[in-house]
């Protein structure tokens, strides 16, 4: 499936050790080996470490950029304050956030901030944890209007075909009116993930080092 997706022009693969060995899996297809990649295009801090000032983390990541080991830096579920402080050290290319019609709250704060900083948003759980991928009761909805988390070639073809689907402004107005920003809310899947929610991902202030000169 990974090889076929690559052959069809999909070159962005979101992987992490925390996902359970998919870094090794993605590295196996022959075509990817032929790319001879010796750097990471976009490297995320996977979940904000709320015990450490973000400036210290960013300085380490900035060093990796200077060494040519990574090209761009991303954050994962960072609060507004954390994002601003991180950006002051080095530009943030993207922030990974949960974002779907069921979880639109980032439109009020995070989306405007990203527009201000020129930072992209990498949406995850964009199907509402499967709600828009077939788990919900769907009536008279074209198959290509639904994205599917898939291991089947047929679903991959439908997902790629959905790129041709264009919503009019009237379509979007109707959708947003049906599901307003504060109209629905969903709990996080695991309690262990809840503590990393972006609204709580505020890091401690940086301690300024004081240098004393003895005369």
* Distant-in-sequence, close-in-space partners of 60: CB < 8 Å, separation ≥ 6: none
- The distance between the two most distant Cα atoms of the chain, rounded to a whole number of Å, is 82
Contact 148, 155 (CB under 8 A): yes
Contact 67, 143 (CB under 8 A): no
Contact 127, 149 (CB under 8 A): yes
Q: Which of 19, 39, 43, 72 is catalytic?
A: 19
Token pair 């870094």 is found at 23
b vs e for 200-212, b when ≥16 Cβ sit within 10 Å of the residue's Cβ? ebbbeeeeeeeee
Contact 95, 78 (CB under 8 A): yes
| 87 catalytic residue (yes or no) | no
**Catalytic residue numbers?**
19
């Amino acid at each position: 499936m990974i090889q076929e997706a690559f052959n069809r022009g999909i070159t962005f693969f979101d992987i992490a050790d925390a996902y359970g060995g998919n870094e090794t899996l993605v590295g196996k297809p022959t075509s990817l080996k032929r790319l001879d990649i010796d750097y990471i295009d976009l490297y995320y801090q996977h979940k904000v470490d709320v015990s450490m000032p973000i400036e210290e983390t960013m300085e380490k990541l900035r060093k990796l950029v200077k060494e040519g080991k990574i090209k761009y830096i991303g954050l994962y579920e960072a609060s507004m304050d954390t994002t601003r402080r991180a950006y002051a050290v080095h530009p943030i290319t993207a922030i990974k956030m949960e974002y779907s019609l069921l979880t639109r709250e980032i439109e009020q704060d995070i989306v405007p901030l990203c527009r201000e900083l020129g930072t992209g948003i990498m949406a995850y759980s964009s199907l509402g944890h499967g709600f828009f991928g077939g788990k919900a009761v769907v009536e008279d909805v074209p198959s290509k209007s639904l994205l599917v988390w898939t291991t089947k070639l047929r679903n991959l073809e439908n997902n790629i075909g959905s790129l041709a689907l264009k919503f009019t402004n009237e379509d979007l107005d109707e959708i947003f009116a049906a599901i307003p920003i504060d109209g629905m809310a969903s709990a996080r899947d695991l309690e262990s993930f809840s503590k990393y929610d972006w609204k709580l991902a505020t890091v401690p202030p940086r301690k300024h080092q004081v240098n004393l000169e003895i005369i």
